[in-house]
Structure 1
Amino acid sequence: MIIEDFMPKVGESSIREEMIACLRTNPKTLPSMFFYDHHGSELFEMITNLEEYYPPKVEIPLLRSTAQKLKQELKDCDLVELGSGDCSKISVFLDEIPEEIRQTIVYYPVDVCKQAIEKSACNLQDTYPEMNIHGITADFLEHIEKIPAKRRRFFCFFGSTIGNLTEVQAMKFMTDLGKVMNNNDRLLLGVDMVKDIDIIEKAYNDSQGITAEFNKNILKVVNDHIETDFYPEEFEHVAFFNKKHSRIEMHLKAKKDLEVTSPFLKDQIVFKKDETIHTENSHKYTVDGINKMANAAGLSVESIFNDDKKWFSLVEMVKQ
């Protein structure tokens, strides 16, 4: 097992500067990466088990059935998972691949968090001792060229993570990925599809209020880093489907006029009543949108695998 680290060392001052800059923009924003402190990660794990939160419920069975159909494509290839996290999705996928094929695979988990790579790589090595693992700590938006190209590669980008990128970011990512892919390299891309708006909005406005707590927790993370005096209860969780941009947007809306202070700021951060902080996007896709991304990458759509309701898709693309 090998782990390479390509992430630049980011100090606390850089994190503070980013938070302050985002809160100074108009409209105010906070990057969704700041959701995931320890408590935020626990809350997200709870969200994935909620009745209303459909994505894992449709994606996991789809991963199993798709792996069975694509298993021969994985023989003698490098399996690259972008944004691998805890590697739970790839485990579902690999369980369906015969051992004689797994032993021909080199698995490359790619994630910004070195600890996540180390932990998941160890767990996977225990589960699949016949498979070679080569972890890469990197930001796939910035360091895609760092991924080795020794053999044919099969890229995986699960969980509709691409939906969290802006439209510009997603198209640039696809373009950059297409440039580094070689002929016969493949991409299996997970995308959440456009569906009944009520179903989508309920997934981000659960009846137990866990998603609201998850959204508000980002203010506690900001307090920890720049010593602000945000009070989460002074903000309302707002999540709605933006038809124009085909995405769920999550915001935190000020319930009253507010002034937030920090020792790292000369002036207060001022909020008018109903002013929001934009915390996350989750884009939903159509077949036309999928084809647009494939065209940007110079890839051909080989297959689109769907669940029975066509709520979620795994899209197989190939470089020719």
Structure 2
Amino acid sequence: MGEPDLDVHSDPDDVTAALRADVREGLTAARKWLPPKWFYDARGSALFEQITVLPEYYPTRSEREVLDREAAEIARVTGARTLVELGSGSSEKTRLLLDGLRAHGTLDEFVPLDVSESALAEAVAAISADYEGLSVRGVVGDFTQHLGLLPGERPRLVAFLGGTIGNFLPGERAKFLRSVRDVLDEGEWLLLGTDLVKDAVTLERAYDDAAGVTGEFNRNVLRVINARLGADFDPDRFAHESYWDAGESWIEMRLRAREDMVVRIPGAGIDVSFEEGEHIRTEVSAKFRPAGIGAELADAGFSVERWWTDERNLFGVSLSRSAR
């Protein structure tokens, strides 16, 4: 088997520079924060895979239920020749879409985009091996920066699954959706996974499981900063917390300092002081109502053509067409 077909627009130096900038900005703010994308080194990705099968974590199962049921309809409606996936391209959910599009007879190409070159190379190799005759071209880049570089025959179907859209703050979300619309021709498609508003207990348990896997995943951001920027965080000195903010309609994940401390981060050129009880916000995960996400998509230049949920109405999947 030959080398995976990759277009590389982001290398390890770019990733380290972006992390350095985020750490400087987020950990010197009055209310400290870090972006959730920095959870995902190899260890973080493995921990997240464990989270997706936990009994408390319903989103992955719920979204897969919808895609399993509707993949053929998605293929029929879109007639997509290219499937573009923002994020990992090796998951079971991706394969449901690939199978539906192949069975419909239109699919020529699969284009997964991911910031991790190693993870993407593995995904491209696996999909290429399992889908003979399918052109698979990976794009190494950040989906907030490199959407305009995506290849593919028209019409394209862009899939952004897993509820990851909820990790953007509202202004960022509007900018991102518009950036997706701007790279699509009129009549091309966006398949979007969105977690739905529900009771606080269900939500908070999904982000604070009994086995403690989510806590380890949350603390992994500190290990990433240690590894890339030479910091001396002790992850065990931070407690994992999740909190449902009903006013904002989002879950916040936080790391709370168990004691006063000073952390050195040589690679960012800063030392960071923490008081006991002080938080770092490491993730927001917004939850949506159908009318709300429909309005956001319309504002970005999309028309929602299909809306599906799982049987328990926990998770929504929308299929939208780029409008004029």
Provide the TM-score with structure 1 as the length reference: 0.91
1:226 and 2:229 correspond: yes
Matched with 2:184 is 181
Cα RMSD (Å): 2.2
Shift of 1:220: 2.2
Matched with 1:94 is 98
Distance 1:119 1:232 in 2: 29
Matched with 1:112 is 115
- Change in CA separation of 1:239 and 1:76 when aligned onto 2, cut-off 3 Å: closer
Q: Which amino acid aligns with 2:45?
A: S
Alignment of 1:247-258 (within 5 A): 247-258=250-261
Alignment of 1:1-320 (within 5 A): 2-7=5-10, 9-10=13-14, 12=16, 15-75=19-79, 77-99=81-103, 101=105, 104-148=107-151, 150-263=153-266, 268-320=271-323
Contact 1:259–1:269, Cα closer than 8 Å, also in 2: yes
Contact 1:23–1:30, Cα closer than 8 Å, also in 2: yes
* SS of residue paired to 1:240: strand
- Change in CA separation of 1:48 and 1:76 when aligned onto 2, cut-off 3 Å: closer
Distance 1:224 1:180 in 2: 35
Distance 1:40 1:78 in 2: 29
Give the aligned length. Answer: 319
Contact 2:304–2:318, Cα closer than 8 Å, also in 1: yes
- Change in CA separation of 1:181 and 1:255 when aligned onto 2, cut-off 3 Å: same
Distance 2:35 2:279 in 1: 14
- Change in CA separation of 1:83 and 1:14 when aligned onto 2, cut-off 3 Å: closer
- Change in CA separation of 1:127 and 1:232 when aligned onto 2, cut-off 3 Å: same
Contact 1:254–1:273, Cα closer than 8 Å, also in 2: yes
* SS of residue paired to 2:53: coil
- Change in CA separation of 1:150 and 1:47 when aligned onto 2, cut-off 3 Å: closer
Deviates more, 1:84-93 or 1:52-61: 84-93
Shift of 1:198: 0.8
Shift of 1:237: 0.8
Shift of 1:28: 1.1
Shift of 1:207: 0.8
Distance 1:85 1:122 in 2: 10
Shift of 1:206: 0.7
Distance 2:321 2:269 in 1: 53
Contact 1:75–1:105, Cα closer than 8 Å, also in 2: no
Distance 1:228 1:115 in 2: 24
Q: Which amino acid aligns with 1:296?
A: D
* SS of residue paired to 2:304: strand
Shift of 1:38: 2.6
Shift of 1:165: 1.5
Shift of 1:264: 5.2
Percent identity over the alignment is 33
- Change in CA separation of 1:11 and 1:81 when aligned onto 2, cut-off 3 Å: closer
Distance 2:15 2:146 in 1: 19
User: Which segments of 5 or more consecutive residues in structure 1 lack a partner in the other structure?
Assistant: none
Distance 2:122 2:270 in 1: 42
* SS of residue paired to 1:28: coil
Q: Which amino acid aligns with 2:224?
A: V
User: Which segments of 5 or more consecutive residues in structure 2 lack a partner in the other structure?
Assistant: none
Question: Which string of whole-angstrom CA distances, capped at 9 and with x for unpartnered residues, describes residues 237-271 of structure 1?
Answer: 11011112111100111122222234457764211
- Change in CA separation of 1:137 and 1:228 when aligned onto 2, cut-off 3 Å: closer
Contact 1:240–1:250, Cα closer than 8 Å, also in 2: yes
